[in-house]
Amino acid sequence: MTSPTENPAASVTRSAGVVALGTLVSRVLGAARDMVIAASFSVAATDAFFVAFTIPNALRGLLAEGAVNSAVIPLYTDVRAKEGVARAKEVHRILSGALLLVLAIVSMLGVAFAPILVGLYADGYRETPGRFEETVLLVRIVFPYVFFMGSAALGMAALNANGRFAVPALTPALLNVALIAAPFTLVPGVVSMGLPPITSLALAALIGGALQVIAQWPALRGIGHFAMPRLDLRAPVVKHAASLLVPLTVGLGVYQVNVMLARLFASYLEEGAQSYLYYGQRLVEIPQGMFALALASASLPRLSSLRAQGDALGLRTTFVTGLRQALFVALPASALLVALAEPIVTVLFGRGAFERQSVIETSHSLLWQGAGVAFIALVRVLVPVFYAHQDTRSPVWASVANLVAFSGLAYFLRGPFGHVGIAIAISAAGLVQFTVLWGLLEARHPEVLPVAKDRAPLALSCVRLLLASAVAGLAGWGVGLLGDWAAGGNDLRNVAVLVAASLAAGVSYVAVCGLLRAPELGEILGALRRRRR
């Protein structure tokens, strides 16, 4: 574990680096997964699977990672600081028992009421014979995935709270491995049973979820957390966790209404709209997962611990460091995704069943979703600050603002712009959510915000990073003009051009940051040097 006296910037940077490395492995495998799926199945088939997989994923974010981040980790770290390690372990067992019971019940209800759920997310599928029924079948197969993800999230909470970030960051890659293998290993079996080939992906998701849980067992045993959950619904800590989860449930529920509306709107659009949005979102999640989400995962235990100790200076320093470092990665990532949207989609997906028109439509989705990467990254940094204060109500209002902005924009823009209108609405709603969160932070937890003498350096950092990102985007776009993107992703020249364009953008960004003496570059390079030693 991190020493309480350790420099907060170095601590979070190092921990986030571990998480980012593991997440990078998962994201690379995730990109490979999406490449295999796009080449193996038509967009009509993947439309059905992506809707089906979205539904348990929505509850996973609500009842698994959401519950763990907002209640389990803050309560665990608070009890450990005040009552000791043994009591904290017992609290973890009690919370695990209650949460797993809820997840088991939810999984059974999801299987039973799958037709109603599909109606909420993709009622437009009823207009195509057999499409709605196929999606219902996929939901029933994949829904228990939420139980495995809840179990994995509880293990992640114990490991992260004890300074073990590598295993939780690496285990999500197992889901991608299972999905990559599915078209080659499971398709013949499901076809012989009279099921659609796409069913293989639903089965693979269950296998990947179970593997994530099993892979954590050795590490949990190493920290003394490999114990059976304890079911005690009357325990005070369960009631406390429930009180924290009620506003979180509303907040995340609002976000999931966004997801539901996006799927529902897309279900009435052209065939492939779901897939275009999904593939664009997956590519946007690569930079978010590499560092923005990694910073959030690494900083939450640290923020909770600092607040429990009453260290206001450490809390503020950790928060400001997270802001700067999130922007250091998110701004150039956004510039790169916008400048190289078509080349990226072409090289990754432009083969097999994924035709040229699918490439063009997905690149439009990526461009507009990529424009909002920085806003989503900042939201990921702001929310843990509220959770560390056991304030789960404030993010609810920001989520409501996001919902209002998204639903209004998506409803009006989908008519003239199709799925691109939904992509625009996603990024615009992220900006609204960040703005509201910042205002609530100023009103309710101003001690976390930078003091007057620190505001000018923070603003200067933003200007530096914006300038460096603009130069990087222009450099990547210029090199990208050399590609023949209509030739597809199997053209080796296109692969070489995309690699060269990405390198040009990366080198330009680092060079400009170095010339402008951006402190974030030194912090991250220092963390990498320490990790190497």
DSSP string, 407-476: HHHHHHHHHHHTHHHHHHHHHHHHHHHHHHHHHHHHHH-GGGSPPHHHHHHHHHHHHHHHHHHHHHHHHH
- How far apart (Å, rounded) are the C-alpha atoms in residues 302 and 298? 7
Whether 187 is in a domain gets the answer no
Going by C-alpha positions, the residue among 469, 465, 466, 501 that lies closest to residue 483 is 501
Q: Are 139 and 114 in contact (CB under 8 A)?
A: yes
Per residue in 224-278, pLDDT (tens digit) is 877 788 888 888 888 888 877 776 666 666 767 888 888 999 999 988 999 999 9
Min mean pLDDT across 142-151, 162-171, 215-224 is at 162-171
List the Cα angle 225/231/237 in 5-degree steps.
80
Mean pLDDT of 127-140: 93
In this prediction, residue 298 carries a pLDDT of: 56
Chain mean pLDDT for the chain: 84
Q: What is the pLDDT of residue 5?
A: 47
Q: Which residue has the tokens 């235990």?
A: 301
pLDDT per residue as tens digits for the range 434-472:
999 999 988 887 877 766 666 777 788 889 999 999 999
Q: Which structure tokens are listed for 15? A: 């921990």
> What is the rounded average pLDDT of the residues 136-146?
94
State the average pLDDT over residues 35-64.
87
Q: Quick check: pTM over 0.95?
A: no
What burial letters (b/e) apply to 399-415, b meaning 16+ CB within 10 Å?
bbbbbebbbebbeebbe
Say which residue, 252 or 77, is predicted with more confidence: 77
Q: Which residues, in sequence order, are CB contacts of 196 under 8 Å at separation 6+?
A: 45, 134, 137, 190
Exposure letters 131-161 (e unless 16+ CB within 10 A, then b):
bbebbbbbbbbbbbbbbbbbbbbbbbbbbbb
**Tokens 């019971």 — which residue?**
101
pLDDT at 172: 84
Task: Tell me the CA distances in angstroms from 35 to 2, 97, 211, 350, one per residue in order.
Answer: 39, 38, 22, 9
- pLDDT level of residue 1 (50, 70, 90 thresholds): very low
| Cα-to-chain-centroid distance, residue 124 | 27
Helical segments of 186-271, H only: 187-192, 199-222, 236-267
Q: Rounded to whole angstroms, how far apart are CA atoms 72 and 160?
A: 11
Burial class (CB in 10 A: 0-12, 13-18, 19+), 329: buried
pLDDT at residue 332 in the model: 93
Look at residue 304 in the predicted model and tell me its pLDDT: 62
Q: Is residue 128 part of a domain?
A: yes
Provide the domain limits for residue 76: 43-162+201-265
Coil/strand/helix, residue 252: helix
* Residues 62 and 253 sit within 8 Å (Cβ to Cβ): yes
Q: What pLDDT shows up at residue 169?
A: 75
Query: Is 105 part of any domain?
Result: yes
Segment 281-308 mean pLDDT: 66
Residue 129 domain flag: yes
Q: CB under 8 Å to 506, separation ≥6 — which residues? A: 332, 472
Task: Write down the pLDDT at residue 90.
Answer: 87
130 located within any domain: yes
Per-residue pLDDT tens digits for 334-393: 999 999 999 999 999 999 889 999 999 999 999 999 999 888 888 888 887 887 777 777
Q: How many residues does the chain have?
A: 533
Rounded to whole angstroms, how far apart are CA atoms 295 and 22? 13
- Answer yes or no: is 83 within a domain: yes
Predicted confidence (pLDDT) per residue in 419-436, tens digit = 999 999 999 999 999 999
Q: Torsions phi, psi of 518, nearest 5?
A: -70, 120
470 assigned to some structural domain: no
Q: How far is CA 407 from the centre of its chain?
A: 21
**Phi, psi for residue 229 in degrees, rounded to 5:** -60, 155
pLDDT of residue 311: 64
**43 and 359 Cβ atoms separated by less than 8 Å:** no
Element (H, E) at 375: helix 373-388
User: For residue 520, is it within any domain?
Assistant: no
Q: Indicate the number of domains in the chain.
A: 1
Instruction: Return the closest-CA partner of residue 357 out of 267, 272, 416.
Output: 272
Question: What's residue 3's pLDDT?
Answer: 45
Q: Which pLDDT value is given to residue 494?
A: 95
